Amino acid sequence: MNWQTHQLLALVNLVICAGIAWACICRLNSEICRRHRTARAKYSLLLAGALASGMQPALWGSWPTVGGVLLAGCVLAGLAINVVRWYGQAHPMRREEDQ
C-alpha cells in the first residue's frame, strides 16, 4: 500500500472509532451502567479499545490494516443495531426475573 492508502485507512478508522467511543460514553452515562458493574466494565473496555485503535498511528506509530478497520466497522454496526434496546425498559444483561 502507498502512503495515501495508509492515511485514508487511518482516517476512516479514526472516524469509526470515534463513533464507537461516542456510543460508549453515552451508554456509560445511562442508569443501567450506574447500577450494573458488568455493563460499566463492558463499555469502559470497549471505550479504551476504541481509543487505542483510533489513535494507533499517533500512539504506536503503526498503521491500521483493512481487517482492523472492518472489525471496528462491525463493532460500530453492532452498537448501532442495539441502540433501540437502549431506550427500552429491559437491558440485555438483566435477567427476566430481576425486572
DSSP string, 52-91: HHHTHHHHHS-PPPHHHHHHHHHHHHHHHHTHHHHTSS--
- What pLDDT does 75 receive? 94
Domain that holds residue 72: 15-90
The answer to the question of residue 2 being in a domain is no
DSSP letter at 97 equals G
Nearest-angstrom CA–CA distance, 49 and 16: 12
The answer to the question of residue 38 being in a domain is yes
The answer to the question of residue 99 being in a domain is no
The answer to the question of residue 7 being in a domain is no
- What pLDDT does 21 receive? 95
The answer to the question of residue 56 being in a domain is yes
The answer to the question of residue 39 being in a domain is yes
- What pLDDT does 86 receive? 66
- Stretches in the chain below the pLDDT threshold 50: none
Say how many domains are in the chain: 1
- What pLDDT does 49 receive? 94
- What pLDDT does 15 receive? 96
The answer to the question of residue 5 being in a domain is no
- What pLDDT does 30 receive? 83
